[in-house]
Amino acid sequence: MPIQYYITLSVVLFCIGVVGVLTRRNAIIIFMCVELMLNAVNLLMVAFSKMHHGNALATNPDSLAGVEAQLFVFFTMVVAAAEVSVGLAIIVMLYRNTHSVDVNFLNRLKN
């Protein structure tokens, strides 16, 4: 499959995530949009990694070029999992204090 399809899909997913973060006020939906943006970047890194790995294998069959990006995707997934656990804890505390998950109520937590 050509790399352009992966790039297009990643850009579309990332734009959907940006629009979701900027327009929604529900904390859970904002969280899901951030995860969508992270996964769009992961998809793009894996696609470029596969492309470079394929080109490197054509010239040198023992080459490991392009594998680093796939490893970096695993680190990104671990960071995303940690982000989800901390973020969901914050959302639960927000809900306990305000009985809402609207991010505008976060201004009330200053005191």
Q: 23-70 pLDDT, tens per residue? A: 998 889 998 999 999 999 999 988 888 887 777 777 777 777 677 777
- DSSP tag of 111: -
Give yes or no for residue 5 having a pLDDT over 70.
yes
Given a cut of 70, whether residue 111 has pLDDT beyond it is no
Both tokens assigned to 107: 């201004």
> Is the Cβ–Cβ distance between 45 and 73 less than 8 Å?
yes
pTM: 0.78
Return the amino acid letter for 99.
Answer: H
pLDDT at 52: 79
Query: Are the C-beta atoms of 94 and 106 separated by less than 8 Å?
Result: yes
CA distance 39 to 27: 18
